[in-house]
Amino acid sequence: MPAQTYDALLRSLAKGELAPVYYLHGPEDILKDEAVDAILDRALEPGLRELNLDQRSAGQLDPEAIFALCTTLPMMATRRAVVLREVEAWKRRPKTRAAFLSYLERTVAETVVILIQGSTETDADRDLVRGAFSVECEPLAPERARRWLMRRAKRLGVALEDAAADHLLAATGGELGAVAAELEKLRALPSDQPITADQVGALVGVRHGETVYDWRDAALDGAAGRAARMLAPLLDQSGVTAVRLVSLLGTSLIGV
Protein backbone atom coordinates (compact mmCIF):
# COMPACT_ATOMS: atom_id res chain seq x y z
CA MET A 1 0.00 0.00 0.00
CA PRO A 2 1.48 3.43 -0.90
CA ALA A 3 2.06 5.95 1.88
CA GLN A 4 -1.04 7.96 2.82
CA THR A 5 -1.33 11.56 3.99
CA TYR A 6 -2.24 12.58 7.51
CA ASP A 7 -5.61 13.84 6.23
CA ALA A 8 -6.29 10.48 4.55
CA LEU A 9 -5.73 8.77 7.91
CA LEU A 10 -8.23 11.08 9.64
CA ARG A 11 -10.82 10.51 6.90
CA SER A 12 -10.39 6.74 7.23
CA LEU A 13 -10.84 6.85 11.01
CA ALA A 14 -13.89 9.11 10.69
CA LYS A 15 -15.51 6.39 8.57
CA GLY A 16 -14.90 3.89 11.37
CA GLU A 17 -12.16 2.05 9.46
CA LEU A 18 -9.25 0.49 11.36
CA ALA A 19 -6.15 -1.11 9.89
CA PRO A 20 -4.36 -3.91 11.77
CA VAL A 21 -1.02 -2.06 11.54
CA TYR A 22 -0.18 1.63 11.15
CA TYR A 23 3.28 2.96 10.29
CA LEU A 24 3.85 6.67 11.05
CA HIS A 25 6.97 8.29 9.63
CA GLY A 26 8.23 11.67 8.42
CA PRO A 27 9.58 14.84 10.07
CA GLU A 28 6.46 16.12 11.90
CA ASP A 29 6.50 14.34 15.25
CA ILE A 30 3.54 16.32 16.58
CA LEU A 31 1.35 14.98 13.77
CA LYS A 32 2.45 11.47 14.70
CA ASP A 33 1.39 12.06 18.30
CA GLU A 34 -2.00 13.35 17.15
CA ALA A 35 -2.37 10.38 14.80
CA VAL A 36 -1.66 7.95 17.66
CA ASP A 37 -4.33 9.62 19.81
CA ALA A 38 -6.86 9.49 16.96
CA ILE A 39 -6.19 5.79 16.28
CA LEU A 40 -6.39 4.86 19.96
CA ASP A 41 -9.63 6.81 20.39
CA ARG A 42 -11.14 4.77 17.56
CA ALA A 43 -9.63 1.42 18.56
CA LEU A 44 -10.05 1.27 22.35
CA GLU A 45 -12.98 1.48 24.71
CA PRO A 46 -12.39 4.49 27.02
CA GLY A 47 -13.05 2.70 30.31
CA LEU A 48 -10.72 -0.18 29.44
CA ARG A 49 -8.00 1.79 27.66
CA GLU A 50 -5.24 1.30 30.22
CA LEU A 51 -5.88 -2.44 30.42
CA ASN A 52 -5.54 -2.89 26.66
CA LEU A 53 -2.71 -0.55 25.72
CA ASP A 54 1.00 -1.43 25.58
CA GLN A 55 3.63 1.17 24.66
CA ARG A 56 7.23 0.06 24.13
CA SER A 57 10.49 1.09 22.49
CA ALA A 58 10.92 -1.14 19.45
CA GLY A 59 14.68 -1.38 19.85
CA GLN A 60 14.39 -3.02 23.28
CA LEU A 61 12.29 -5.97 22.11
CA ASP A 62 13.41 -9.41 21.02
CA PRO A 63 11.46 -11.58 18.53
CA GLU A 64 9.63 -13.45 21.30
CA ALA A 65 8.48 -10.20 22.91
CA ILE A 66 7.20 -8.90 19.56
CA PHE A 67 5.16 -12.04 19.05
CA ALA A 68 3.73 -11.91 22.58
CA LEU A 69 2.78 -8.22 22.35
CA CYS A 70 1.03 -8.58 19.01
CA THR A 71 -0.86 -11.79 19.75
CA THR A 72 -2.01 -11.26 23.35
CA LEU A 73 -5.81 -11.15 23.51
CA PRO A 74 -7.60 -8.05 24.86
CA MET A 75 -8.92 -7.93 28.41
CA MET A 76 -12.72 -7.56 28.71
CA ALA A 77 -12.81 -5.76 25.34
CA THR A 78 -12.97 -6.48 21.63
CA ARG A 79 -9.61 -4.94 20.82
CA ARG A 80 -6.23 -3.97 22.25
CA ALA A 81 -3.46 -1.70 20.91
CA VAL A 82 0.32 -1.83 20.84
CA VAL A 83 2.41 1.33 20.25
CA LEU A 84 6.02 0.70 19.21
CA ARG A 85 8.24 3.78 19.06
CA GLU A 86 11.66 4.25 17.42
CA VAL A 87 11.18 1.45 14.91
CA GLU A 88 14.26 2.72 13.07
CA ALA A 89 16.23 0.85 15.79
CA TRP A 90 15.24 -2.37 14.02
CA LYS A 91 18.07 -1.69 11.57
CA ARG A 92 20.35 -2.89 14.36
CA ARG A 93 18.05 -5.77 15.37
CA PRO A 94 17.34 -7.65 12.12
CA LYS A 95 15.88 -10.70 13.89
CA THR A 96 13.28 -8.58 15.68
CA ARG A 97 12.44 -6.77 12.44
CA ALA A 98 12.09 -10.11 10.65
CA ALA A 99 9.75 -11.34 13.39
CA PHE A 100 7.48 -8.34 12.92
CA LEU A 101 7.51 -8.69 9.13
CA SER A 102 6.34 -12.26 9.66
CA TYR A 103 3.53 -10.94 11.86
CA LEU A 104 2.55 -8.54 9.06
CA GLU A 105 1.78 -11.53 6.85
CA ARG A 106 -0.78 -12.86 9.35
CA THR A 107 -2.02 -10.16 11.71
CA VAL A 108 -4.34 -10.72 14.67
CA ALA A 109 -7.80 -9.17 14.29
CA GLU A 110 -8.01 -8.21 17.97
CA THR A 111 -4.78 -6.15 17.95
CA VAL A 112 -4.03 -2.74 16.41
CA VAL A 113 -0.29 -2.08 16.14
CA ILE A 114 1.05 1.47 15.71
CA LEU A 115 4.67 1.81 14.57
CA ILE A 116 6.33 5.20 15.03
CA GLN A 117 9.56 6.18 13.33
CA GLY A 118 11.59 9.09 14.70
CA SER A 119 11.93 12.29 12.70
CA THR A 120 15.71 11.95 12.49
CA GLU A 121 15.29 8.90 10.24
CA THR A 122 14.61 10.35 6.79
CA ASP A 123 13.99 7.16 4.82
CA ALA A 124 10.84 5.12 5.25
CA ASP A 125 11.09 1.35 5.63
CA ARG A 126 9.81 -0.02 2.32
CA ASP A 127 8.63 -3.30 3.79
CA LEU A 128 6.60 -1.51 6.45
CA VAL A 129 5.16 0.91 3.89
CA ARG A 130 4.10 -2.05 1.77
CA GLY A 131 2.58 -4.09 4.59
CA ALA A 132 0.97 -1.48 6.84
CA PHE A 133 -1.30 1.56 6.61
CA SER A 134 1.61 3.93 6.11
CA VAL A 135 1.20 7.62 6.98
CA GLU A 136 3.78 10.18 5.90
CA CYS A 137 3.68 13.02 8.45
CA GLU A 138 5.10 15.89 6.40
CA PRO A 139 5.16 19.63 7.26
CA LEU A 140 1.85 21.27 6.45
CA ALA A 141 1.40 23.87 3.73
CA PRO A 142 0.84 27.40 5.14
CA GLU A 143 -2.96 27.40 4.83
CA ARG A 144 -3.26 23.91 6.31
CA ALA A 145 -0.86 24.90 9.11
CA ARG A 146 -3.09 27.87 9.88
CA ARG A 147 -6.19 25.65 10.09
CA TRP A 148 -4.25 23.27 12.34
CA LEU A 149 -3.22 26.18 14.57
CA MET A 150 -6.82 27.44 14.88
CA ARG A 151 -8.16 23.96 15.70
CA ARG A 152 -5.52 23.43 18.38
CA ALA A 153 -6.07 26.92 19.81
CA LYS A 154 -9.81 26.23 20.06
CA ARG A 155 -9.19 22.96 21.92
CA LEU A 156 -6.96 24.85 24.38
CA GLY A 157 -9.49 27.65 24.84
CA VAL A 158 -7.19 30.25 23.24
CA ALA A 159 -8.92 32.92 21.12
CA LEU A 160 -6.66 34.60 18.56
CA GLU A 161 -7.19 37.59 16.30
CA ASP A 162 -6.46 36.76 12.66
CA ALA A 163 -3.32 38.90 12.74
CA ALA A 164 -2.18 37.12 15.89
CA ALA A 165 -2.55 33.71 14.24
CA ASP A 166 -0.63 34.89 11.20
CA HIS A 167 2.14 36.34 13.35
CA LEU A 168 2.44 33.18 15.43
CA LEU A 169 2.94 31.12 12.28
CA ALA A 170 5.47 33.59 10.90
CA ALA A 171 7.39 33.86 14.16
CA THR A 172 7.72 30.09 14.50
CA GLY A 173 8.39 29.43 10.83
CA GLY A 174 5.27 27.26 10.73
CA GLU A 175 6.96 24.53 12.82
CA LEU A 176 4.05 22.77 14.48
CA GLY A 177 5.98 21.77 17.59
CA ALA A 178 6.98 25.39 18.19
CA VAL A 179 3.42 26.58 17.49
CA ALA A 180 2.05 24.09 20.04
CA ALA A 181 4.58 25.19 22.67
CA GLU A 182 3.72 28.87 22.19
CA LEU A 183 -0.02 28.14 22.36
CA GLU A 184 0.53 26.53 25.75
CA LYS A 185 2.14 29.80 26.93
CA LEU A 186 -0.73 31.86 25.50
CA ARG A 187 -3.21 29.91 27.63
CA ALA A 188 -1.93 31.88 30.64
CA LEU A 189 -3.10 35.22 29.19
CA PRO A 190 -6.52 36.68 30.14
CA SER A 191 -9.22 35.10 27.99
CA ASP A 192 -11.85 37.86 28.03
CA GLN A 193 -10.62 39.24 24.67
CA PRO A 194 -8.97 37.61 21.65
CA ILE A 195 -5.17 37.72 21.81
CA THR A 196 -3.57 40.34 19.58
CA ALA A 197 -0.50 40.15 17.36
CA ASP A 198 1.38 42.46 19.76
CA GLN A 199 0.65 40.12 22.68
CA VAL A 200 1.90 37.17 20.63
CA GLY A 201 5.02 39.11 19.73
CA ALA A 202 5.73 40.03 23.35
CA LEU A 203 5.35 36.43 24.51
CA VAL A 204 7.18 34.76 21.64
CA GLY A 205 9.93 37.38 21.59
CA VAL A 206 9.46 38.25 17.92
CA ARG A 207 7.73 41.56 17.33
CA HIS A 208 5.03 41.92 14.70
CA GLY A 209 6.70 42.97 11.45
CA GLU A 210 10.12 41.58 12.39
CA THR A 211 9.91 37.94 11.32
CA VAL A 212 12.19 36.29 8.79
CA TYR A 213 9.38 36.56 6.25
CA ASP A 214 9.09 40.32 6.81
CA TRP A 215 12.85 40.60 6.20
CA ARG A 216 12.53 38.54 3.01
CA ASP A 217 9.69 40.72 1.75
CA ALA A 218 11.68 43.87 2.46
CA ALA A 219 14.70 42.47 0.61
CA LEU A 220 12.66 41.42 -2.41
CA ASP A 221 10.80 44.76 -2.46
CA GLY A 222 14.13 46.61 -2.70
CA ALA A 223 13.79 48.18 0.76
CA ALA A 224 17.46 47.61 1.55
CA GLY A 225 17.55 50.03 4.49
CA ARG A 226 14.59 48.41 6.26
CA ALA A 227 15.97 44.93 5.59
CA ALA A 228 19.37 45.94 6.99
CA ARG A 229 17.83 47.42 10.17
CA MET A 230 15.99 44.14 10.78
CA LEU A 231 19.09 41.95 10.63
CA ALA A 232 20.38 42.49 14.16
CA PRO A 233 17.11 41.65 15.99
CA LEU A 234 16.47 38.77 13.59
CA LEU A 235 19.82 37.13 14.25
CA ASP A 236 19.15 37.39 18.00
CA GLN A 237 16.09 35.18 17.60
CA SER A 238 16.34 31.49 18.43
CA GLY A 239 16.90 29.30 15.38
CA VAL A 240 17.63 32.20 13.02
CA THR A 241 21.02 32.16 11.30
CA ALA A 242 22.52 33.91 8.31
CA VAL A 243 22.41 30.60 6.43
CA ARG A 244 18.67 30.28 7.07
CA LEU A 245 18.04 33.84 5.86
CA VAL A 246 20.03 33.34 2.66
CA SER A 247 18.31 29.99 2.04
CA LEU A 248 14.87 31.58 2.52
CA LEU A 249 15.75 34.37 0.13
CA GLY A 250 17.11 31.92 -2.45
CA THR A 251 14.05 29.68 -2.22
CA SER A 252 11.76 32.69 -2.67
CA LEU A 253 13.73 33.93 -5.68
CA ILE A 254 13.49 30.51 -7.32
CA GLY A 255 9.74 30.55 -6.70
CA VAL A 256 9.45 33.97 -8.33
Q: How confident is the model at residue 200 (pLDDT cuts 50, 70, 90)?
A: confident
DSSP codes of every residue in 98-163 = HHHHHHHHS--TTEEEEEE--TT--S--HHHHHHSEEEE-PPPPHHHHHHHHHHHHHHHT--B-HH
Give the pLDDT confidence of 65-75 residue by residue, as tens digits: 999 999 999 99
Residue 215 has pLDDT above 90, yes or no: no
Q: How confident is the model at residue 198 (pLDDT cuts 50, 70, 90)?
A: confident
Give the pLDDT confidence of 99-116 residue by residue, as tens digits: 999 999 999 999 999 999
Task: List strand residue ranges (DSSP E) for the chain, in order.
Answer: 21-25, 53-57, 80-85, 111-116, 133-136
Give the pLDDT confidence of 147-184 residue by residue, as tens digits: 999 999 998 999 999 999 998 988 887 889 889 988 99
Residue 240 has pLDDT above 90, yes or no: no
Give the pLDDT confidence of 32-59 residue by residue, as tens digits: 999 999 999 999 999 899 999 999 999 9
